[in-house]
Structure 1
Amino acid sequence: MADGYNPLPLNIKDELTHARLKPGFSEAYDALEDEFQALRTFLSARKEAGLTQEEIAKRMGTTKSAVSRLESSLGDHKHSPSIATLRKYAKAVGCKLEIKLVPQ
């Protein structure tokens, strides 16, 4: 490229396989499965509804950046969205929020 910018290809599957070789990584990664599943569920619902973050924001009465933060926060422990916020998001994508406890 003329400007010298040449992005490297990223293969997430290969990177994850390599990272799992590091001591403690697999245990820590696997411990986050509930958060990853929640994020996949919300993103899937938005995709199935055919809506953008901006459209979700309008329906929720908030901003696109707030929706972006909400979606990204589902995979981290720094910020836990309230049930009321999750309920608004669910309604915006045409769903009902359901929380349940499952015996281990």
Structure 2
Amino acid sequence: MPAFDAILAARREAGLTQAEVAERMGTKAPAVARLEQALVTGRPSPSLATLNRYARALGKKLEVRLV
């Protein structure tokens, strides 16, 4: 599974709405919607800091590896 697909799947698996993730991130639901859309389209590319905040909001840890 591509990394961005895994990130989006993690929210569904956590059973959280965009609004709930936004609250945990300290932002608004439309910002999370834009972030998720960016993950799908690749435009604009979210920063690692933003992806890390998203992961933490889901109770996950973001790891970046070059293998």
Q: TM-score, normalised by structure 1?
A: 0.60
- Which amino acid is the alignment partner of residue 67 of structure 1? V
Name which of 86, 93, 98 aligns with 2:51: 86
- Which amino acid is the alignment partner of residue 99 of structure 1? V
Unmatched 5+ residue regions in structure 1? 1-35
Residue identity (%): 55
Shift of 1:83: 0.8
Runs of 4+ in 1 over 4 A off after TM superposition: none
Q: Is the radius of gyration larger for structure 1 or structure 2? A: 1
Unmatched 5+ residue regions in structure 2? none
Q: TM-score, normalised by structure 2?
A: 0.89
Indicate the structure with greater helix content.
2
Shift of 1:77: 3.4
Matched pairs, number: 67
The question of whether the paired residues in 2 share the 8 Å contact of 1:38 and 1:74 is answered with: no
